[in-house]
Structure 1
Amino acid sequence: MINKKHFSASNIIFVVLMILVVITWLNPSAKVELIRGLMAVGAFKPDPDDYARNHKETVSLPNYSYRDASGNIISISGLKDKVVFVNYWATWCPPCLAEIPSINKLFSKFKNNANIVFLMVDTDNDLLKSAAYLKNNHYNLPLYTSVNTFPDALLDGTIPTTLIFGKDGKLKYKHTGAADYDSDKFNEFLEKEAK
């Protein structure tokens, strides 16, 4: 008598999930889409209130500079009295690429607010490549590279990393890893900080 093995629904789901894991592990574009899909269902929501509750240390705007594609240099310490949104990213980083659409939406909402400055910092210092990526994907974000080494206390080498300094020059929010910044809560946080 021949024993027929039947695939149960759980076995089929397991095999499909394993195939998806392998595909996302081997294909960076698939990782980006997976993270964006998770964002769409409510994952990766940043919580500025949680950051404020759990981080009591006072960090101020460092004396640090960035350069744009035209060679103009902006000093972050000279941006006191403004909310400064700094995002460190790279074109090869799937979590970075996954969060850029939400940052672009956030930037579109606040780009005319003179009290908020956005700095998208390419960690590879390859402005041509990163500018091409932004342009090809119809993102209108202000692009910069670092002029000197950023303090390890604020940037430990993990990307993406987002830092937000308040008008008082103090660090109000820090997040490493992907986040969906186009949320009502995060919009309210920026509006409150910009007043």
Structure 2
Amino acid sequence: MLRRVAAAILAALLVLTAGCGGVRPDGADQEPVGVFHGEGGADPAPDAAAPEVKPMPGYLAADIRATDVFSGKAVSLADLKGQPVFLNFWATWCPPCKDEMPDMEEFHREMGDRVRVVAIGADGFESREKMAAFAEALGLTFLVVHDGGSAARAYLVSGVPTSFFIDAEGVIRVRHTGQLSLEEMKEYAELASKTAED
């Protein structure tokens, strides 16, 4: 009993000191926090003849196969190819994620289908029903999906919220760990849209 209490206290301290960050489920170290635009701190873009899938700017985004929390329909990132995507990893227990959602909803309402917003649960232990109740309580109308945490592992997400802006060709243009403002969302979406048009 005492060991359980000690373990619970230790887990709570880790969550409090890490905010909504923490260590990835596979135990690897956290990736750097910040924004990478495919230059400066990011890996160089791969050879155009041999595109590589990697969760960094300049590389192809990994496909995601998930379930819409409201309709139960299957969703994949490949289905959205041809238009820019704002891909956001989040969790219901994360205060910055909850604070970011109204701006994401405003962004979605302003952008419509010009930039698709996809919010995917990063916590593999959260149920589809819990995520749907959370999204419904906030009045979210953009695509909210559940996949049991597979995409978070593929995208090496170690803290939430983490967002990716992907161009129409499926190439990641921005990776940002931390809460985004509406203005930042628009700025990054414009970058992904311009790149897609070039």
TM-score (norm 1): 0.63
Give yes or no for contact 1:83–1:117 (8 Å, CA) kept in 2.
yes
1:118-160 Cα deviation digits (max 9, x unpaired): 2111234423222222222233222101267237462333211
Aligned pairs for 1:9-158 (under 5 A) are: 51-54=37-40, 55=42, 56-57=44-45, 58-69=58-69, 70-113=71-114, 116-124=115-123, 125-146=126-147, 149-150=150-151, 152=153, 154-158=155-159
Give yes or no for contact 1:134–1:141 (8 Å, CA) kept in 2.
no
- Supply the AA of the counterpart residue of 2:131: S
Give yes or no for contact 2:97–2:179 (8 Å, CA) kept in 1.
yes
Evaluate the alpha carbon distance shift between residue 111 and residue 126 of structure 1 in structure 2; reply closer, same or farther with a 3 A threshold: farther
State how far apart, in whole Å, the 2-side matches of 1:151 and 1:123 are: 5
- Supply the AA of the counterpart residue of 1:107: H
Q: Once the two structures are aligned, what percentage of the paired residues are identical? A: 23
State how far apart, in whole Å, the 1-side matches of 2:180 and 2:158 are: 17
State how far apart, in whole Å, the 2-side matches of 1:186 and 1:71 are: 30
Give yes or no for contact 2:67–2:75 (8 Å, CA) kept in 1.
yes
Evaluate the alpha carbon distance shift between residue 138 and residue 148 of structure 1 in structure 2; reply closer, same or farther with a 3 A threshold: closer
State how far apart, in whole Å, the 1-side matches of 2:104 and 2:121 are: 14
Partner SS, residue 53 of structure 1: coil
Gaps of 5+ in 1: 1-24, 32-46
1:66-88 Cα deviation digits (max 9, x unpaired): 11122211221343212121111
State how far apart, in whole Å, the 2-side matches of 1:182 and 1:128 are: 31
- Supply the AA of the counterpart residue of 1:169: G
Please report the RMSD computed on the Cα atoms of aligned residues, expressed in angstroms. 2.9
TM-score (norm 2): 0.62
State how far apart, in whole Å, the 2-side matches of 1:90 and 1:74 are: 19
Q: How much has 1:165 moved relative to structure 2?
A: 1.1
Q: How much has 1:95 moved relative to structure 2?
A: 1.3
Evaluate the alpha carbon distance shift between residue 122 and residue 151 of structure 1 in structure 2; reply closer, same or farther with a 3 A threshold: closer
- Supply the AA of the counterpart residue of 1:59: Y
